[in-house]
Structures are given as structure tokens and as C-alpha cells.
Structure 1
Amino acid sequence: MSRTGKKPISLPEKVDVKFEGLSITVKGPKGELQRTLPNGVSLSKDENFIFVKPINEKRQSREMHGLCRSLVANMVEGVSNGFTKKLEIVGVGSRAQVKGKTLVVSAGYSHPVEVVPPEGITFKVENNTNVIVTGPDKELVGNEAAKIRAIRPPEPYKGKGIKYQGELIIRKAGKSGKT
């Protein structure tokens, strides 16, 4: 059995969970998430806890056990607290701004790049160089942050580009002069 999968998932007061078979719906103050879990696991609810158990001891059930527990725990966490990814834009003239719901990034190209958020995701910009991506779905928040970072990934010589906050960019030495 998975060590992660054995842990029960505690439900906050404001979160409501419904499941039919392998389809689970979680509602909370930050929104509603729905997901169909893969075969090989079963869900059970006991007052303020959700338990994920493998159906049998076959390899696929054991593989899916910890994964499904993490997916459900992330859904509960997302609808109660939400998830956040922070990005930094480094470079002269590089900046971002929000127009309506759309994020407009000027990252050194001949044109600004517009990023339209999917439903449930919001963008916030601080100081024209810090972008904050928030939403209830951890997977979607991470994907949107990765799309923004992919506009201009950080380069190793001067460190210019869009990077995650706290990301360490390993720097390379430039050309060395004649010795």
C-alpha cells in the first residue's frame, strides 16, 4: 500500500464532497471541481474524512492508490484555500499588465504576447514584473504558469526572461578573453 494513500483526507467545514463511483465533485468557497478517478481505487466518506483504498493488490491498483489520494486532497485544498504560482519577469523593458482578464506580456518581442486565462484562473500583476496566477485547480494553475514562463524562458548568461519566484537559474560564464 502507498504511504501517501493510507493517510485520510480531512474535510474543512465549508467543503462539500459528493461521489458516485469514481466521479467526485468537491464544492467550497473558492469554487467547484469535478474529476473522474482512474479504475483501481474506491472512495469512502466518514464524517469529516475521505478515505481512498485500492480495490485489490494488483500492481495497477497500488499505483493508482497514492495518485488518487493526492488528486482528491488537492481538490479539497483548492476549493478551500486555492493555489498560487508566482513568476518574476527579469530584463530591461520586460513587463506585464492585466487588461480585463487577459495578461499582456512585453518580453522583448516585436509584439506583446496576450495570455487568456481559462475559467477559474485569475492573473494579478505587481510592480509590472511580478505575475501571480491563482485558482482552485492545482494542475490548471501550474499549466498556466508554465505557459507564461514559456513565453520567454530565463537564459543562463544574464538571467533575463520569465522565471518562477525563487527559481535558481544556473549562470554560465560568457566568452573569456585571450590570456
Structure 2
Amino acid sequence: MSRVGRRPIPILPGVEVSVEEGKISVRGPRGVLEMELSPGITVKVENDQVAVQRESDSLKHRSLHGLYRSLINNMVVGVSDGFSKTLEIRGVGYRATKSGNRLELSVGYSHPVVFEEPEGISFEVPNPTTVIVKGMDRQQVGNMAAKIRVVRKPEPYKGKGIRYLGEYVRHKAGKTGA
């Protein structure tokens, strides 16, 4: 058995989980998340816990067992607490501003790079060099943070660019004068 897949998922207070016809729906204070279940994977809700089971020990079912357990756990945590990714901007003159539902990045291009808040995602800019991406869907939050980071990846010589909070960027030695 999958070690991840066989652990039950505790249902947090204020969260409702319902399973019907190969579809799971998780409702909480932040909203509703839904997901289709793969054939061969069954989900049971009992005693304030969610249990994920597989119908056979085939390679496909074994690999999906732990995956679906993790995805459902992320849904339960997402509708109750939410997820966030913090990005750090480094470089002289590099900054971020938020106006309405738009995030504007000034990162060395001749024009500011603008991102609109997609549905379910919000941006926070506590200071000009920090951007926080928040939402209830972990995958959407990670994808949006990655799109923002790609605008100006950290470069290895001076470390300028957009990086995740706590990300280590290995520095290279520059040219030596001859």
C-alpha cells in the first residue's frame, strides 16, 4: 500500500466534503473546489475523515492512490486556510506596484510588465520588492508565481531578478581583468 495514500485526511472545521459519481467537491469558507476522480480510485467520507482507496495493485492504481490523497488534502487545506507564495525582487530600480487588480512589475525593461489577477488568485505587495500570490488552489498559486518569476529570472552574476523567498541563487565569478 502507498504510505501516503493510506493516511486518512482530517476534515477541518467549516469544511464539507461530498463525493458523487466520480467527482469530489470540497466546500469551505474560501469557496468550492471540485475534481474528477480517476476510475479505480474510490473516496469515502466517514467520521470527519476522508479515506482514499484503490481497486487493485496495478502500477497505475498504485501511482494514482497517493496522488489523489495529496490532491484532496490540498483541496481541504485550500478552502480553509489557502496557499501563498512569496516572491522577492532584487535589483537596483526593480519594483512591483499593485493598482486595482493589476500587478505591475518594473524589472529593467522599457515598459512595465502587467499581470491581471485571474479568478481565485490575489496579489499583495507589502513593499516594492515583495509580491505575495494567494489563492485556494495550490496548483494555480504555484503556476502564477512561476509566471511572475519567469519575467526576470535571477541571473547568476549579480543575483538580480525575481526569486522565491528563500531561494538560493549560486553566484558565478565574473570576467577577470587581464
Residue 41 of structure 1 aligns to which amino acid in structure 2?
I
Preserved contact between residue 18 and residue 45 of structure 2 (Cα < 8 Å): no
Distance between the aligned counterparts of 2:36 and 2:159, measured in 1? 41
Alignment partner of 2:92: what SS? coil
**Counterpart for residue 99 of structure 2:** 99
Within a 5 Å distance, the mapping from 1:11-160 to structure 2 comes to 11-160=11-160
Cα distance in 2 for partners of 1:131, 1:6 equals 37
Name the CA distance, whole Å, in 2 between partners of 1:38 and 1:148.
32
Q: Percent identity?
A: 51
User: How far apart are the structure 2 equivalents of 1:43 and 1:18?
Assistant: 9
1:66 corresponds to which letter in structure 2? G
Aligned length: 178
- The one-character-per-residue Cα deviations of 1:14-56 (angstroms, maximum 9, x if unpaired) are 0011111321111111111111122221000112000001111
1:138 maps to amino acid? R
Q: Which amino acid aligns with 1:26?
A: V
1:59 Cα deviation from its structure 2 partner:
1.2
SS across alignment from 1:5: coil
Give me the whole-angstrom Cα distance separating, in 2, the residues matched to 1:171 and 1:136. Answer: 35
The alignment status of 1:162 with 2:162, answered yes or no, reads yes
What residue is the counterpart of 1:2 in the other structure?
A: 2
Letter in 2 for 1:156: P
8 Å contact 1:117–1:144 — kept in the other structure? no
Residue type at the aligned position of 2:129: T
* Superposed displacement of residue 58, structure 1: 1.2
TM-score normalised per structure 1 = 0.97
Contact 1:9 1:73 in 2 (8 A): yes
One-letter amino acid of the counterpart of residue 64, structure 1: L
**Which amino acid letter does the alignment assign opposite residue 120 of structure 1?**
G
Contact 1:40 1:60 in 2 (8 A): no
| TM-score normalised by L of structure 2 | 0.97
- For residue 117 of structure 1, report the CA deviation from its aligned partner: 2.0
Distance in 1 between the 2:29 and 2:127 partners?
A: 29
Gaps of 5+ in 1: none
**Structure 2 gaps, min length 5:** none
Residue identity in the other structure for 2:38: P
